[in-house]
Amino acid sequence: MFTNAGLTNPRTGKPYGRAHIYRMARTALFLHEVSPRAGVDATELDVAERALRAACENGVDDVAMLAQIEDRVIAVAENGEQPDGKAVQEIVKSVIDEAAGRTPAPTEPADAPAGDTAGLPGAGPAAGPSQNGPGPSPSAQEPTTTTTTAGEADIAETRPAPDPRPLVIVRCGAPKAPTAMPAGQLYTGTYSRLALQAATTLTGDDPAAIRIISARWGLLSLDRVVEPYDLRLGQPRSITAAKVRAQASKQRLLDRPNVIVLAGRAYSELVKLVWPRALTPLVGTRGIGDQQNRLARIARGEPLEDIA
């Protein structure tokens, strides 16, 4: 409570120190960030500041934990349940406890054996067609020629023309098929299906203009064959912005001027580190149900500017 002495402990009547006030503010901010990701009011949640501190001391920051919380809430929703405050509280507690080392984290997927890189982003061609995913259309790769005459001889310069098509990036999902298959068929949850339907509408049914951003493998074309995995954004060995940028460069996507991200805040923030001007129509929603409603509206053809 507040008194003339400042913020005081109601049990002792003594003022809190600055360090304690900072820790309480940090906990409140963490819950404020959880709220829009999980679709519950922050007042329904309770986090022990000591647990947050232990996670930080264990090398896991708040951003990584928030990404994992969002991932797990979506996973529950994709299984047909809308998580309430109690369910979200359990998710938050489990993520923080794992980050603090109090409970074991989910097993990470093993790397592919040496010499077996089929299906991994950036790997060489594997047996069978389309393992590297579709590249830009031939017309998108045709160079344009510009000249400069300022004080010197004309110099011909060839540069690839930016592809004007929208590039739509959808997030991966927790429910997956049990065996390796193309990324466009691997993710089986309701959220993933809605996101791909919306992406198909936005691109005019152009699979080459759609990428799935996977927590494990990064940018995947729809025909890229990958193994199922159990890894969430923010966990060790999950994808980073630097890796996504490198993949986008290799796939000739970095200069795409029109990028749309169909994902919640965690994946959208990651993508915007690579494409700062990307549109993020699902950010600012009131939870997973609201995101799915927006995806359904986009899939029906409603303009993005009307989705709010």
pLDDT digits (tens, 9 = 90+) for 167-189: 999 999 989 999 999 999 999 99
In the chain, pLDDT over 70 holds for what percent of residues?
76
Is residue 130's pLDDT more than 50?
no
Tens of pLDDT along 133-148? 444 443 334 444 444 4
Report if residue 140 sits inside a domain: no
Predicted local confidence at residue 140, as pLDDT: 39
Tens of pLDDT along 202-251? 999 999 999 999 999 999 999 999 999 998 888 888 888 989 999 999 99
Predicted local confidence at residue 161, as pLDDT: 64
Report if residue 282 sits inside a domain: yes
Predicted local confidence at residue 160, as pLDDT: 59
Which residue, 75, 99, 123, sits at the end of a domain? 99
Q: How many domains does the chain have?
A: 2
- Rounded Cα–Cα distance for residues 13 and 8 (Å): 6
Q: Which of 53-57, 99-103, 148-152, 291-295 has the highest mean pLDDT?
A: 291-295
Report if residue 83 sits inside a domain: yes
Tens of pLDDT along 14-65? 787 887 788 888 888 888 888 877 777 888 888 888 888 888 888 888 888 8
Q: What is the CATH number of the domain that holds 229?
A: 3.40.50
Report if residue 196 sits inside a domain: yes
Predicted local confidence at residue 55, as pLDDT: 86
Q: Are residues 163 and 91 part of one domain?
A: no
- Rounded Cα–Cα distance for residues 260 and 243 (Å): 19
Q: Are residues 168 and 41 part of one domain?
A: no
Q: What's the token pair of residue 89?
A: 């509280």
Q: Are residues 181 and 299 part of one domain?
A: yes
Q: Are residues 216 and 289 part of one domain?
A: yes
Q: Are residues 269 and 169 part of one domain?
A: yes
Q: Are residues 201 and 80 part of one domain?
A: no
Report if residue 260 sits inside a domain: yes
Which residue, 99, 123, 138, sits at the end of a domain? 99
Q: Are residues 89 and 169 part of one domain?
A: no
In the chain, pLDDT over 90 holds for what percent of residues?
35
Mean pLDDT of 110-130: 39
Full residue range of the structural domain in which residue 91 is found: 2-99
Q: Are residues 298 and 165 part of one domain?
A: yes
